[in-house]
Amino acid sequence: MAAWDDLTEGTKGPRREVGPLTRTDFVRYQGASGDFNPIHHDEEFAQSAGFPTVFSVGMLQAGILGCYCTDWLGAENVRAFAVQFREQVWPGDHLVCEATVARRFEEDGERRVELDLLVTREESGGAAIKGQATFVVP
Amino acid sequence: MVDKSKVGLHDDPAMMPIERGKIREFARACKSTNPEYLDAPTPVSPPTFLTTVNFWMGGGTSPLAQLDIDLRRLLHGGQAYVFHGPPPKAGTELTFQTRVDQIYEKAGRRGGTMTFVETVTEFRDAAGTLVAEARSTAIETGQAPTKEG
Protein backbone atom coordinates (compact mmCIF):
# COMPACT_ATOMS: atom_id res chain seq x y z
CA MET A 1 0.00 0.00 0.00
CA ALA A 2 1.25 3.47 -0.86
CA ALA A 3 2.60 5.63 1.97
CA TRP A 4 1.71 9.28 2.63
CA ASP A 5 5.18 10.52 1.72
CA ASP A 6 4.91 8.83 -1.68
CA LEU A 7 1.57 10.44 -2.51
CA THR A 8 1.99 13.93 -3.90
CA GLU A 9 -0.05 15.78 -6.47
CA GLY A 10 0.48 14.08 -9.81
CA THR A 11 1.49 10.70 -8.34
CA LYS A 12 0.03 7.92 -10.47
CA GLY A 13 -1.18 4.54 -9.33
CA PRO A 14 0.13 1.45 -11.11
CA ARG A 15 -1.60 1.13 -14.50
CA ARG A 16 -3.88 -1.89 -14.76
CA GLU A 17 -5.06 -3.58 -17.94
CA VAL A 18 -8.15 -5.79 -17.97
CA GLY A 19 -9.60 -7.79 -20.80
CA PRO A 20 -10.70 -8.77 -23.29
CA LEU A 21 -14.09 -8.46 -21.60
CA THR A 22 -16.52 -11.21 -22.57
CA ARG A 23 -20.26 -11.72 -22.45
CA THR A 24 -19.55 -14.14 -19.62
CA ASP A 25 -17.93 -11.30 -17.65
CA PHE A 26 -21.11 -9.25 -18.12
CA VAL A 27 -23.37 -12.10 -17.00
CA ARG A 28 -21.16 -12.90 -14.04
CA TYR A 29 -21.30 -9.29 -12.90
CA GLN A 30 -25.05 -9.13 -13.41
CA GLY A 31 -25.45 -12.21 -11.23
CA ALA A 32 -23.23 -10.74 -8.55
CA SER A 33 -24.91 -7.34 -8.55
CA GLY A 34 -28.56 -8.25 -9.05
CA ASP A 35 -28.96 -5.91 -12.05
CA PHE A 36 -30.56 -8.08 -14.73
CA ASN A 37 -31.23 -5.49 -17.43
CA PRO A 38 -31.46 -7.79 -20.48
CA ILE A 39 -29.66 -5.28 -22.68
CA HIS A 40 -26.37 -6.62 -21.27
CA HIS A 41 -26.93 -10.31 -22.09
CA ASP A 42 -29.93 -10.75 -24.42
CA GLU A 43 -28.77 -10.30 -28.01
CA GLU A 44 -32.29 -10.03 -29.42
CA PHE A 45 -33.33 -7.46 -26.83
CA ALA A 46 -30.21 -5.34 -27.44
CA GLN A 47 -30.77 -5.40 -31.20
CA SER A 48 -34.46 -4.53 -30.83
CA ALA A 49 -33.28 -1.42 -28.97
CA GLY A 50 -31.06 -0.45 -31.91
CA PHE A 51 -27.71 -1.68 -30.59
CA PRO A 52 -25.44 -3.89 -32.71
CA THR A 53 -25.02 -6.32 -29.82
CA VAL A 54 -25.04 -6.49 -26.03
CA PHE A 55 -22.75 -4.14 -24.13
CA SER A 56 -21.17 -4.16 -20.68
CA VAL A 57 -22.85 -3.04 -17.49
CA GLY A 58 -21.43 0.38 -16.63
CA MET A 59 -21.18 -0.73 -13.03
CA LEU A 60 -18.90 -3.61 -14.06
CA GLN A 61 -16.19 -1.26 -15.30
CA ALA A 62 -16.96 0.99 -12.31
CA GLY A 63 -16.46 -2.01 -10.03
CA ILE A 64 -13.19 -2.92 -11.74
CA LEU A 65 -12.05 0.68 -11.27
CA GLY A 66 -13.12 0.74 -7.62
CA CYS A 67 -11.20 -2.44 -6.80
CA TYR A 68 -8.20 -1.13 -8.75
CA CYS A 69 -8.18 1.94 -6.44
CA THR A 70 -8.56 -0.05 -3.22
CA ASP A 71 -5.79 -2.45 -4.31
CA TRP A 72 -3.54 0.60 -4.41
CA LEU A 73 -4.66 2.56 -1.33
CA GLY A 74 -6.42 -0.04 0.82
CA ALA A 75 -9.93 -1.49 0.97
CA GLU A 76 -10.71 0.08 4.37
CA ASN A 77 -9.51 3.54 3.39
CA VAL A 78 -11.97 4.61 0.68
CA ARG A 79 -14.34 7.42 1.73
CA ALA A 80 -15.82 8.50 -1.59
CA PHE A 81 -15.98 7.02 -5.07
CA ALA A 82 -17.79 8.52 -8.05
CA VAL A 83 -17.97 7.64 -11.73
CA GLN A 84 -19.41 9.27 -14.83
CA PHE A 85 -20.03 6.91 -17.71
CA ARG A 86 -18.77 7.94 -21.16
CA GLU A 87 -18.30 5.44 -24.02
CA GLN A 88 -20.03 2.12 -23.76
CA VAL A 89 -17.86 -0.98 -23.37
CA TRP A 90 -18.36 -3.83 -25.83
CA PRO A 91 -17.46 -7.53 -25.90
CA GLY A 92 -13.78 -7.89 -26.78
CA ASP A 93 -12.75 -4.53 -25.30
CA HIS A 94 -9.56 -4.20 -23.28
CA LEU A 95 -9.72 -1.59 -20.51
CA VAL A 96 -6.94 0.43 -18.92
CA CYS A 97 -7.43 1.79 -15.37
CA GLU A 98 -5.48 4.81 -14.18
CA ALA A 99 -5.51 6.92 -11.03
CA THR A 100 -3.73 10.22 -10.34
CA VAL A 101 -3.46 12.10 -7.07
CA ALA A 102 -5.26 15.41 -7.67
CA ARG A 103 -5.10 16.79 -4.13
CA ARG A 104 -3.42 15.94 -0.84
CA PHE A 105 -4.71 17.42 2.40
CA GLU A 106 -5.41 16.91 6.08
CA GLU A 107 -8.92 17.19 7.45
CA ASP A 108 -10.37 16.33 10.88
CA GLY A 109 -6.97 15.01 11.89
CA GLU A 110 -6.86 12.60 8.95
CA ARG A 111 -4.54 12.58 5.96
CA ARG A 112 -6.48 12.31 2.75
CA VAL A 113 -5.93 12.21 -0.99
CA GLU A 114 -8.34 12.91 -3.81
CA LEU A 115 -7.83 10.94 -7.00
CA ASP A 116 -8.76 11.59 -10.60
CA LEU A 117 -9.74 8.30 -12.22
CA LEU A 118 -9.91 7.15 -15.81
CA VAL A 119 -10.90 3.96 -17.59
CA THR A 120 -9.88 3.95 -21.24
CA ARG A 121 -10.97 1.54 -23.98
CA GLU A 122 -7.64 0.42 -25.36
CA GLU A 123 -8.92 -0.19 -28.90
CA SER A 124 -10.58 3.21 -29.42
CA GLY A 125 -8.52 5.24 -26.97
CA GLY A 126 -11.81 6.70 -25.77
CA ALA A 127 -12.77 7.19 -22.14
CA ALA A 128 -15.25 4.65 -20.80
CA ILE A 129 -15.34 6.22 -17.34
CA LYS A 130 -14.14 9.36 -15.68
CA GLY A 131 -14.18 9.32 -11.91
CA GLN A 132 -13.02 10.72 -8.62
CA ALA A 133 -12.21 9.09 -5.28
CA THR A 134 -11.22 10.14 -1.79
CA PHE A 135 -9.03 7.96 0.45
CA VAL A 136 -7.69 8.34 3.94
CA VAL A 137 -3.99 7.54 4.21
CA PRO A 138 -3.20 6.01 7.63
CA MET B 1 -41.61 10.45 -20.62
CA VAL B 2 -40.72 10.62 -16.96
CA ASP B 3 -43.23 12.23 -14.63
CA LYS B 4 -41.49 15.08 -12.80
CA SER B 5 -44.07 15.02 -10.01
CA LYS B 6 -42.28 11.87 -8.79
CA VAL B 7 -39.48 13.91 -7.16
CA GLY B 8 -39.49 13.06 -3.47
CA LEU B 9 -41.04 9.65 -4.06
CA HIS B 10 -39.38 7.10 -1.81
CA ASP B 11 -39.70 3.47 -0.91
CA ASP B 12 -40.09 1.98 2.54
CA PRO B 13 -36.90 1.36 4.52
CA ALA B 14 -35.63 -2.20 4.17
CA MET B 15 -32.76 -4.22 5.61
CA MET B 16 -29.68 -5.46 3.79
CA PRO B 17 -27.19 -7.85 5.42
CA ILE B 18 -23.59 -7.41 4.28
CA GLU B 19 -22.36 -10.94 3.61
CA ARG B 20 -18.87 -12.35 3.20
CA GLY B 21 -19.81 -14.70 0.34
CA LYS B 22 -21.56 -11.91 -1.53
CA ILE B 23 -18.51 -9.68 -1.13
CA ARG B 24 -16.29 -12.45 -2.47
CA GLU B 25 -18.59 -13.08 -5.43
CA PHE B 26 -18.82 -9.37 -6.20
CA ALA B 27 -15.08 -8.74 -5.87
CA ARG B 28 -14.31 -11.65 -8.19
CA ALA B 29 -16.84 -10.41 -10.76
CA CYS B 30 -14.96 -7.08 -10.61
CA LYS B 31 -11.69 -8.90 -11.38
CA SER B 32 -10.24 -8.25 -7.92
CA THR B 33 -7.60 -10.56 -6.47
CA ASN B 34 -7.31 -8.50 -3.27
CA PRO B 35 -7.07 -10.71 -0.16
CA GLU B 36 -8.74 -7.90 1.83
CA TYR B 37 -11.93 -8.91 -0.03
CA LEU B 38 -11.32 -12.54 -0.89
CA ASP B 39 -9.59 -13.97 2.18
CA ALA B 40 -10.35 -11.77 5.20
CA PRO B 41 -12.86 -13.43 7.56
CA THR B 42 -14.83 -10.19 7.92
CA PRO B 43 -13.96 -8.21 4.78
CA VAL B 44 -15.06 -4.66 4.08
CA SER B 45 -17.13 -4.30 0.95
CA PRO B 46 -15.72 -2.95 -2.35
CA PRO B 47 -16.47 0.71 -3.22
CA THR B 48 -19.41 -0.11 -5.53
CA PHE B 49 -20.72 -3.11 -3.57
CA LEU B 50 -23.80 -1.32 -2.26
CA THR B 51 -25.22 -1.57 -5.78
CA THR B 52 -26.14 -5.13 -4.75
CA VAL B 53 -29.00 -3.49 -2.88
CA ASN B 54 -30.79 -4.31 -6.14
CA PHE B 55 -31.09 -7.84 -4.81
CA TRP B 56 -32.82 -6.69 -1.68
CA MET B 57 -35.14 -4.30 -3.46
CA GLY B 58 -36.23 -7.06 -5.84
CA GLY B 59 -36.64 -4.51 -8.62
CA GLY B 60 -40.32 -3.77 -8.19
CA THR B 61 -40.22 -1.67 -5.06
CA SER B 62 -37.56 0.84 -6.14
CA PRO B 63 -39.01 4.27 -6.79
CA LEU B 64 -37.03 4.22 -10.04
CA ALA B 65 -39.09 1.22 -11.14
CA GLN B 66 -42.25 3.30 -10.69
CA LEU B 67 -41.19 5.97 -13.17
CA ASP B 68 -42.07 3.99 -16.31
CA ILE B 69 -38.62 4.44 -17.86
CA ASP B 70 -38.20 2.53 -21.13
CA LEU B 71 -35.37 0.03 -20.51
CA ARG B 72 -34.34 0.20 -24.18
CA ARG B 73 -33.66 3.92 -23.80
CA LEU B 74 -32.21 3.78 -20.28
CA LEU B 75 -28.57 4.68 -19.74
CA HIS B 76 -26.70 4.84 -16.49
CA GLY B 77 -25.12 8.29 -16.42
CA GLY B 78 -23.16 8.08 -13.22
CA GLN B 79 -22.91 6.68 -9.74
CA ALA B 80 -21.39 8.12 -6.58
CA TYR B 81 -20.76 6.71 -3.11
CA VAL B 82 -19.85 8.47 0.12
CA PHE B 83 -18.67 6.48 3.15
CA HIS B 84 -18.72 8.03 6.62
CA GLY B 85 -15.94 5.71 7.78
CA PRO B 86 -14.62 2.43 6.35
CA PRO B 87 -17.04 0.76 3.89
CA PRO B 88 -19.59 -1.60 5.47
CA LYS B 89 -18.13 -4.88 6.73
CA ALA B 90 -19.39 -8.43 6.37
CA GLY B 91 -21.61 -9.31 9.29
CA THR B 92 -23.25 -5.89 9.58
CA GLU B 93 -26.85 -5.16 8.73
CA LEU B 94 -27.85 -1.91 7.10
CA THR B 95 -31.22 -0.28 6.71
CA PHE B 96 -31.59 1.47 3.39
CA GLN B 97 -34.09 3.78 1.79
CA THR B 98 -34.14 5.26 -1.72
CA ARG B 99 -35.72 8.51 -2.81
CA VAL B 100 -36.05 10.31 -6.12
CA ASP B 101 -33.90 13.39 -5.53
CA GLN B 102 -34.00 15.26 -8.86
CA ILE B 103 -35.55 14.97 -12.34
CA TYR B 104 -34.35 17.30 -15.09
CA GLU B 105 -33.97 17.44 -18.85
CA LYS B 106 -31.15 18.31 -21.23
CA ALA B 107 -31.03 18.55 -25.01
CA GLY B 108 -29.30 15.53 -26.56
CA ARG B 109 -26.28 16.11 -28.80
CA ARG B 110 -28.08 14.59 -31.77
CA GLY B 111 -31.53 15.94 -31.10
CA GLY B 112 -34.19 14.71 -28.77
CA THR B 113 -34.49 15.34 -25.08
CA MET B 114 -32.64 13.40 -22.42
CA THR B 115 -34.32 13.04 -19.05
CA PHE B 116 -32.05 12.70 -16.00
CA VAL B 117 -33.32 11.03 -12.84
CA GLU B 118 -31.12 11.16 -9.73
CA THR B 119 -31.95 8.83 -6.88
CA VAL B 120 -30.25 8.75 -3.48
CA THR B 121 -30.07 5.70 -1.25
CA GLU B 122 -29.11 6.17 2.40
CA PHE B 123 -27.64 3.29 4.41
CA ARG B 124 -27.84 3.33 8.21
CA ASP B 125 -26.48 0.97 10.83
CA ALA B 126 -28.42 -0.60 13.71
CA ALA B 127 -27.99 2.59 15.77
CA GLY B 128 -29.50 4.66 12.96
CA THR B 129 -26.19 6.31 12.07
CA LEU B 130 -25.77 7.22 8.42
CA VAL B 131 -22.82 5.10 7.21
CA ALA B 132 -23.05 5.42 3.44
CA GLU B 133 -24.92 7.21 0.67
CA ALA B 134 -25.29 6.23 -2.97
CA ARG B 135 -26.37 8.64 -5.71
CA SER B 136 -27.39 7.19 -9.04
CA THR B 137 -28.04 9.12 -12.24
CA ALA B 138 -30.29 7.38 -14.76
CA ILE B 139 -30.80 8.86 -18.22
CA GLU B 140 -33.74 8.17 -20.50
CA THR B 141 -32.53 9.02 -24.00
CA GLY B 142 -34.75 10.37 -26.77
CA GLN B 143 -33.66 7.45 -28.95
CA ALA B 144 -31.48 4.37 -28.53
CA PRO B 145 -27.82 5.45 -28.82
CA THR B 146 -25.66 3.76 -31.44
CA LYS B 147 -22.32 2.04 -31.02
CA GLU B 148 -20.60 5.19 -32.22
CA GLY B 149 -22.56 7.25 -29.66
Contact B79/A82, CB-based, under 8 Å? yes
Identify the burial level of A75 via C-beta atoms within 10 angstroms of its C-beta, where 0-12 means exposed, 13-18 middle and 19 or more buried.
Answer: buried
Given CATH 2.60.40.150, say whether it is the number of domain A10-136.
Answer: no
Which of B18, B22, B28, B30 is the best substitution to test chain A (most A C-beta atoms within 10 A)?
B30
Dump pLDDT digits (tens) for A45-58.
999 989 999 999 99
Q: Nearest-CA residue of chain A relative to B87?
A: A76
pLDDT at A36 exceeding the cut of 60: yes
Q: A5: which residues sit within 8 A by CB, 6+ positions away?
A: none
* CB atoms closer than 10 angstroms to residue B21: 8
**Chain A positions touching chain B (beta carbons under 8 Å):** 18, 25, 28-29, 31-39, 45, 48-52, 58-60, 62-64, 66-67, 69-71, 74-85, 88, 90, 133
**Could you say which residues from 44 to 63 on chain B have a Cβ atom under 8 Å away from some Cβ of chain A?**
44, 46-48, 51-55, 59
Dump pLDDT digits (tens) for B83-127.
999 999 999 999 999 999 999 999 877 768 899 999 999 999 999
Whole-number Å distance between alpha carbons of A104 and A97: 21
pLDDT at A81 exceeding the cut of 60: yes
Q: A42: which residues sit within 8 A by CB, 6+ positions away?
A: A54
Per-domain residue ranges for chain A? Answer: 10-136
pLDDT at A43 exceeding the cut of 70: yes
Whole-number Å distance between alpha carbons of B20 and B22: 5
Dump pLDDT digits (tens) for A95-116.
999 999 999 999 888 999 999 9
Sketch out chain B's domains with CATH numbers. 4-18+59-140 (3.10.129.10)
Whole-number Å distance between alpha carbons of A40 and A55: 5
Dump pLDDT digits (tens) for B133-146.
999 999 988 765 55
Residue with the bigger pLDDT between B38 and B58: it is B38
Contacts across the A-B interface (CB distance below 8 Å): 135
Strand pairing class (A16-18; A95-107):
antiparallel
Contact B52/A133, CB-based, under 8 Å? no
Whole-number Å distance between alpha carbons of A17 and A122: 9
Whole-number Å distance between alpha carbons of B89 and B54: 18
Look at residue B145 in the predicted model and tell me its pLDDT. Answer: 53
